[in-house]
Structure 1
Amino acid sequence: MTLRIDTAQRRARLAVRHGLAGPVPPGKTPEDVAADLVALHATDPATVHLSVAARLHRPLVATVEDALYERRTLLRMLGMRRTMFVVPSGFAAVVQAGATRAVAAEQRRLLVKHLTETGVGDAAWLEDVAESTFEALRRRGSATAAQLAADEPRLRSLMVFPQGNQYVTSRVLFLLAADGRIVRGRPVGTWISSQYAWSCLPDWLPEPMADLDPAHARTELARAWLARFGPGTAADLKWWTGWTMTHTRAALRALEAVAVELDGGETGYVLPTDTAPVDDPGPWVALLPGLDPTVMGFQGRQWYLGPHAPAVFDRTGNAGPTIWSDGRIVGGWAQQPTGRIAWELIEEVPASVRKAVTRAASELEGWLGDARVTPRFRAPLERKLADPAGTVVA
C-alpha cells in the first residue's frame, strides 16, 4: 500500500526542517541555517542575510560576513540552475560535481559559439584568456573585474550581436567560477552590494575542494534536498537541480527513495528513513525575503502558494518577499524609502496571525535600521507596497 503524505504534513515538515516554527535552538548559527536549507539563494546578496535573520530572529550581518570572508565556513558559488548560492564549505564539492560542472560545460560551449560567431576568438583563444586572467588574479591575490581587465586587456573584447553588444569580461569570469577556480570574496561596498572582489579558490579555502564523481554527487545532492524538502516530486527535484529527468530518476533510484501519494494525486518521494510523520509545530508566522530557499524549493507550489503567484512572483518565476502563516503564503511585504516595512495580506487570516505579522514586521524593520533593501527581482505586490502611496495593511 502506497504511503500518503497530505498537505498538512508537508507544511509541518517544511516548518520544522526549515527552522520557521518554534524557538530557535541555542547556539544555532548561519552555517546551520544554510545546511537546513541545503543552500541559500545568493543571486540577490541581501537574501542571504534576510533568510538567516528570518530563522534566527536577530540581525547577524557581521556573523554571516565572518563565516563567508574570514572563517570561510560558508562559500558563495555558482550551483543549481546556473544560480548563485551560499553553501556550507564542506558541501561545496557536492554542488560543484553534482550541478556546477555541467553548467560550466554548457556555458563554455555557448561562449565559444558566440566568440566564433562574432569573430572575437575560438576555444583556444578562450582558454588562453582564461589562464591569463587566472594568473593575473593569483598575482594580485584579490581583484575586481575592472582590475583584471586592466591586467588582461582581452577581457575587454566586445562581442557584437544584433540584439546588443557584450564584453567578454563577465562571461570569462563566470566560467572560471563555474570551473571552481575563482570565488567571489568580500563585496565592494556594504552587505547589499552585488559587486565583489575575486580570489583564486585554491587560495581561499583552507583545503582543496574534493573532486567527486558526478553521479555520486548528484545522489548526495538529491539526498540533501529530500531530507529538507521532501516529499517532493521528480519534477520538483529536476527543476531545483537543473538536471535532466534521466539524472533525476537515477539519483532517486540510487537513494531507494520511497514513493508517496500527495494530495491531488501526484507522486512524491521521501528518503527510506523519513516515512514517519512530523508533529505539527503549532502556529507560526514568517516574513521571508525574495528568492528565499523555502519559496524557491519546488516547481509545483500550489500546496503553499495557492492562486497567489501573479502577486508575489515576477513574470520569470522569481519570488518576491512573502508572508507565511502555518506553511502557506498569505501575503507580501516591502521596505519603503523611509525604512518602514509595509505589508499586505492576500488571504483571510485570524486576528492572532495579523498580530504576529505586525510583530514580525516591526522586528524586521528594527534590525534593518538604516539599510534599504530593494529585491533584485521585483514582484507586483512588492512594487506596490514599496511605494508609500500604495495600499498598506498594518
Structure 2
Amino acid sequence: MRHVTDEERRARLAARHRIMPGARAPDAVSATRAMTVLHATEPPTVYLSLAARVDGLAREDIDRELYVHRSLVKQLAMRRTLFVFPRDLLPAAWASASARVAIQEATRLARDAVRGGLAPDGAAWLAEREQEVLGLLAGGGLQTSDIRKQVPDMDAKVPTGGVNSKWGGPTPIGPRVLTWLGARGLIVRGRNGGHWRISRAEWTPMETWLGELPARPSEDEAYAELVRRWLHTFGPGTTRDIQWWLGATLTAVRRALAAVDAVEVSLDGGGTGWLLADDVDEVEEPGPWAALLPVLDPTTMGWKERGFYLDPADVPYLFDSNGNAGTTAWWNGRIVGCWVQDAAGKVRVVSRHTLPADAEAALAAEAERLTAWLDGEIVNSLYASKQMKSERLP
C-alpha cells in the first residue's frame, strides 16, 4: 500500500488549492474548479477565497462570473451549506447532496406547517406554495421580502424545534420554503441587490438563470462525480472526511469510492485514506509558502480530520464549537494563526506560535497584499473565532 506522509499531504494542498504564491490560478473559474466548490455561507468568503487564489482579481471579475456569464452558481448542497459551484457540476449536486437536503427540508416544512395551523395537510400546503412561488417568479427575479409580501402564507410564522428548545419560537416559514426550492434546483440566488459583503439575492427560476437545464445523472453517478472531484482537490482523505464533507451516508460514500476506482493509501498515525488511481505519484516538497484565508475557506473546511494541518490545541481559538473556521494564517501547509483588521482596514496576522523570521516576513507580505485588495473595507463575520474576537479593537 502506498504511504502518504503528512508532509506530502501538505505539499499536495499547496499546489492543488492554488494558495501558494507562484501556483495561483489564472482566473476565478479555474480557482473554483481547483477547490471543487467554494463556501458561500457568508458572501465575503467567496470573494476573499478567490482573491487568495488569483493575483490581480477584482471584485468586478467575480461579479461577472456570478451574475453575467453565470459560470459560477450558488447552490445549497452538502450539509445544508450554501456553496458556489462551477456550472457543470450543478447536476451532480441536484441529484445527490442537494436532493438529500431537499427531502429533509420538505419533511420539516410539512410538519411545521401543520403545527403552525397553516393547513391540516403539510405536504399539500407545501406543493401549493411551490406553484405560487414559481408562478410569481416567472415574471422576474424577486427578493425574499417581496415574495413574502405577495404570497400571504409565505409571511406566516410557525413554531420550530422541540417544545423545550431555545430554538422553538415562531420563525418565518417563507425563507425556508425558498431554501427548499433552491435545494431542489428549481430556483437560484440570482443577482445580488447589495454589495459584495452582504447578500440580497433575487430568487430566479433556475431555467431562466441558466437557459436550457442539463440532464441530471442518477444518484450514484452524481455522488461518484462529487467524490471524484473531492479526491482530486483534497485527496488523500479518509472515509470519515468524505462522508462528513458530503453529508451523505456511509453506503453512498463506499459506492462512490468504488465507482471512481479509488485506491487506499496509508497515512501517518496509522490511518488509511483514498486517492484516485491516476493520482498516486509522489508530490515534491514545494518550498516555503504563506497564505491568508477567510472565514470558512474551502481549504480550511475540506476535511473532518484536520490533524495534519492543524494543531489540536489551537482548535478552540481558531474554530467555533460547531467546527466552523474563522480566518486562518498558513505557513508551509499548517495553520499557525489568524488575521484581523484594524479600524482603518489594515490586515494584521495573529500567530498562535513563535514563528521563524522567514515565516513572519512571508505572512507580513500576504497581509500587505490582502490589505491592498480590501482597500479600506472592513469584513465582519458571524463566525469570528475566539482568537479573532480577542484581537478586536475596543
Same fold (TM over 0.5): yes
Q: Distance in 2 between matches of 1:272 and 1:234?
A: 16
Q: 2:52 aligns with which of 39, 51, 54?
A: 54
Residue pairs, 1:141-152, within 5 angstroms:
141-152=140-151
- 1:93 CA displacement: 0.9
2:169 alignment partner AA:
G
SS at match of 1:16: helix
The one-character-per-residue Cα deviations of 1:339-373 (angstroms, maximum 9, x if unpaired) are: 12122111232101101111111111111013210
Give SS of 1:208's match. Answer: coil
Contact 1:120 1:158 in 2 (8 A): no
Question: Who is 2:318 aligned against?
Answer: 312
Shift of 1:273: 0.7
- 1:76 is displaced (CA, Å) by 0.7
The corresponding residue for 1:136 is: 136
Deviation at 1:338, TM superposition (A): 2.1
Does the aligned pair in 1 maintain the 2:346–2:376 contact within 8 Å? no
Paired amino acid for 2:30: D
Determine the structure 2 residue equivalent to 1:371. 377
- The amino acid across from 2:245 in the alignment is W
TM-score, normalising length: structure 1: 0.95
Correspondence 1:158-307 to 2 at 5 A: 158-161=157-160, 162=163, 163-307=168-312
Worse-superposed segment, 354-363 or 117-126: 117-126
3-state SS of 1:374 partner = coil
Secondary structure class of the residue paired with 1:120? coil
Deviation digits for residues 164-213 of structure 1 (CA, Å, limit 9, x no counterpart): 11111111101110111111112221101122111111000033132211
Quote the Cα distance in structure 1 between the aligned partners of 2:175 and 2:137: 14
Corresponding residue for residue 15 of structure 2? 16
Q: 1:131 Cα shift?
A: 1.0
Q: Structure 1 CA distance, aligned partners of 2:378 and 2:141?
A: 28
Partner of 1:157: 156
Corresponding residue SS for 1:333: strand
Q: Which residue of 2 aligns with 1:107?
A: 105
Whether the aligned pair in 2 keeps the contact of 1:240 and 1:298 (CA below 8 Å) is: yes
The aligned residue for residue 118 of structure 2 is 120
CA–CA separation in structure 1 for the residues paired with 2:270 and 2:200: 45
Q: 2:95 matched to 1:89?
A: no
Offset of residue 130 of structure 1: 1.5
- Equivalent pair of 2:15/2:23 in contact (CA under 8 Å): no
Find the residue that maps to 1:302 and give its secondary structure.
coil
CA distances 1:13-61 after superposition (whole Å, capped 9, x unpaired): 0111001224146x81100010000000000110000001111133421
Pairwise CA RMSD of aligned residues?
A: 1.3
Unaligned runs of 5+ in 2: none
Matched position secondary structure for 1:231: coil
- Cα distance between partner residues in 1 of 2:70 and 2:40: 16
8 Å contact 1:231–1:270 — kept in the other structure?
A: yes
Aligned positions, number: 385
TM-score (norm 2): 0.95
Unpaired runs of 5+ in structure 1? 390-394
Please give the alpha-carbon distance, in whole angstroms, between the structure 2 residues aligned to 1:95 and 1:202: 16
CA contact (8 A) 2:113 2:158 kept: yes
- Separation in structure 1 between the aligned mates of residue 151 and residue 115 of structure 2, nearest angstrom: 22
Per-residue CA deviation, residues 259-292 of structure 1 (Å, 9 max, x unaligned), is 1110000110101111101111111100000100
